[in-house]
């Protein structure tokens, strides 16, 4: 405690100091001069039984931790929450090293893990599972090329179980994440398919194909792996690489049926009728940055048409057209009946 000689209120020198509570009070006017003072020295007091104990509390970086002395105690002790936070930091650093995440990602994940501990989200769940969820949230916010299945493989657990914990944690903290951009994974998957010197060109073409898929509403409501797989398969064919559906599906971690569905949906779009030269000419003014960031290149090249409408809008438009067609047929049939009645003929042309 600081050496206060007089009270600033009444100028009295009668100052009562309490080292255990860290307070200094003027006995003349009752003014509190100091409270909750943190000191660097350690003081001991002796109890009636002759045992010595420490005066005050130890204040570490993470919070308060009591100091216990006497029989059976040898010094500072950590509570269960501090032990959990310490283990969480260790697991976060280990898992981040396996997934090649930087120190900034580790720091942000530690703050998410601390919130999980404070809200008792860690109870009933393994520390490694909560740590994986915290790191995945950081990857989603920082828009890295890591997928949830990468964390599931590190933990050797079902990706759907990990996804369930992820959804519960984001709901608890009211975390809103942007939809996943499939273009984040194109370069990662392209490097795994061994395209050699043309890997950059194949990836750029795949980005443009994904951009066109986004314009045709193929990305909405679908996982990015299937979109990336379809884009890379089409791009590899355009650059004369022989890659089978099984090879692409194995790299992007989807089944062959999902990949074929994405290809069939792409076949229904107008761009599927283009030649390779027409497709590249349409993106002549675009760059890889434009194709990867927000799909601006695709949206600037074509005008909007009804074929690029969302599936729900397409279905509604088709239902309206069918309704109008049925109405026209009913009106034509009624007019025919009226005309036959005016001519004195039986309905339906019966003589």
- pLDDT of res. 61: 54
The Cα–Cα gap between 186 and 207 comes to: 7
CA distances from 325 to 329, 332, 339 (A): 6, 11, 21
- pLDDT of res. 77: 45
Bridge partner list, 32 = 25
The Cα–Cα gap between 232 and 249 comes to: 10
The Cα–Cα gap between 109 and 95 comes to: 11
| pLDDT exceeds 50 at position 222 | yes
* Closest to 82 (Cα-Cα) out of 36, 109, 113: 113
51 contacts 44 by C-beta, under 8 angstroms:
no
Of 284 and 189, more confident: 189
The Cα–Cα gap between 152 and 146 comes to: 11
The Cα–Cα gap between 74 and 68 comes to: 7
Residue pointed to by tokens 């990949």:
259
Provide long-range contacts, Cβ within 8 A and 24+ apart, for 39-43.
Answer: 39/1, 43/19
* Closest to 99 (Cα-Cα) out of 151, 35, 160: 151
Bridge partner list, 53 = 45
- pLDDT of res. 271: 82
- pLDDT of res. 134: 95
- pLDDT of res. 22: 65
Instruction: Tell me if residue 32 falls in helix, strand or coil.
Output: strand
Q: How many helices (H) and strands (E) does the chain have?
A: 14, 7
Counting residues of the chain whose pLDDT is more than 70, the rounded percentage is: 76
* Closest to 25 (Cα-Cα) out of 12, 34, 37: 34
DSSP 99: T
Torsion angles phi and psi, residue 310, rounded to 5: -60, 155
Instruction: Quote the tokens at residue 39.
Output: 């000191």
Instruction: Tell me if residue 276 falls in helix, strand or coil.
Output: helix
Q: Tell me the average pLDDT across 130-136.
A: 95
Residue pointed to by tokens 């001069």:
33
- pLDDT of res. 290: 44
Write the pLDDT tens digit of every residue in 292-306. Answer: 444 444 444 444 445
* Closest to 117 (Cα-Cα) out of 151, 162, 82: 82
- pLDDT of res. 309: 58
52-61, 77-86, 99-108, 208-217: lowest mean pLDDT where?
52-61
Q: Which of 46-55, 66-75, 278-287, 312-321 has the highest mean pLDDT?
A: 312-321
Write the pLDDT tens digit of every residue in 57-99. Answer: 555 555 544 444 444 444 444 567 888 888 999 999 999 999 9
Q: What's the pTM?
A: 0.61
Bridge partner list, 23 = 18
| pLDDT exceeds 60 at position 163 | yes
Burial annotation 152-186 (CB, 10 A radius, 16+ → b, else e): beebebebeebbebbeebbeeeeeeeeebbbbbbb
Q: Report residue 169's pLDDT band, with 50, 70 and 90 as the boundaries.
A: very high
Of 122 and 46, more confident: 122
Of 233 and 214, more confident: 233
Counting residues of the chain whose pLDDT is more than 90, the rounded percentage is: 33
Please give the mean pLDDT across all residues of the chain.
79
| pLDDT exceeds 70 at position 194 | yes
* Closest to 233 (Cα-Cα) out of 249, 257, 217, 222: 249
DSSP 123: T
The Cα–Cα gap between 28 and 91 comes to: 56
- pLDDT of res. 39: 58
Report the largest interatomic distance among the alpha carbons of the chain, rounded to a whole angstrom.
Answer: 129
């Amino acid at each position: 405690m600081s050496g206060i000689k007089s009270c600033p209120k009444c100028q009295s020198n009668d100052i009562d100091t309490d080292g255990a509570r860290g307070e200094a009070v003027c006995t003349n006017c009752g003014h509190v001069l100091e409270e909750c003072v943190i000191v660097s020295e350690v003081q001991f007091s002796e109890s009636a039984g002759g045992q010595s104990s420490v005066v005050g509390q130890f204040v570490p970086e993470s919070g308060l931790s009591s100091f216990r002395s006497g029989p059976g105690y040898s010094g500072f002790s950590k509570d269960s929450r501090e032990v959990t936070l310490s283990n969480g930091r260790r697991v976060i650093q280990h898992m981040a090293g396996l997934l090649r995440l930087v120190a900034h990602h580790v720091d942000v994940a530690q703050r998410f893990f601390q919130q999980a501990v404070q809200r008792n989200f860690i109870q009933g769940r393994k520390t490694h599972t909560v740590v994986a969820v915290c790191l995945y949230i950081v990857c989603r916010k920082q828009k890295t090329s890591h997928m949830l299945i990468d964390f599931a493989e590190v933990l050797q657990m079902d990706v759907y179980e990990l996804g369930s914990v992820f959804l519960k944690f984001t709901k608890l903290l009211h975390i809103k994440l942007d939809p996943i951009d499939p273009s984040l994974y194109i370069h990662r998957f392209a490097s795994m398919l061994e395209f050699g010197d043309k890997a950059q060109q194949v990836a750029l073409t795949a980005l443009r194909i994904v951009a066109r898929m986004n314009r045709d509403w193929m990305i909405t409501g679908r996982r990015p792996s299937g979109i990336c797989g379809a884009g890379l398969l089409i791009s590899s064919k355009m650059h004369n690489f022989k890659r089978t559906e099984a090879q692409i599906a194995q790299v992007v971690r989807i089944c062959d049926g999902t990949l074929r569905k994405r290809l069939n949906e792409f076949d229904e779009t107008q761009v599927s009728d283009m030649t390779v030269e027409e497709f590249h000419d349409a993106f002549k003014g675009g760059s890889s940055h434009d194709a990867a960031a927000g799909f601006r290149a695709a949206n600037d090249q074509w005008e909007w048409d009804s074929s690029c409408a969302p599936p729900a809008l397409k279905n509604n438009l088709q239902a309206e057209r069918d309704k109008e067609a049925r109405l026209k047929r009913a009106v034509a049939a009624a007019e025919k009946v009226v005309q036959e009645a005016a001519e004195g003929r039986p309905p339906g042309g019966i003589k």
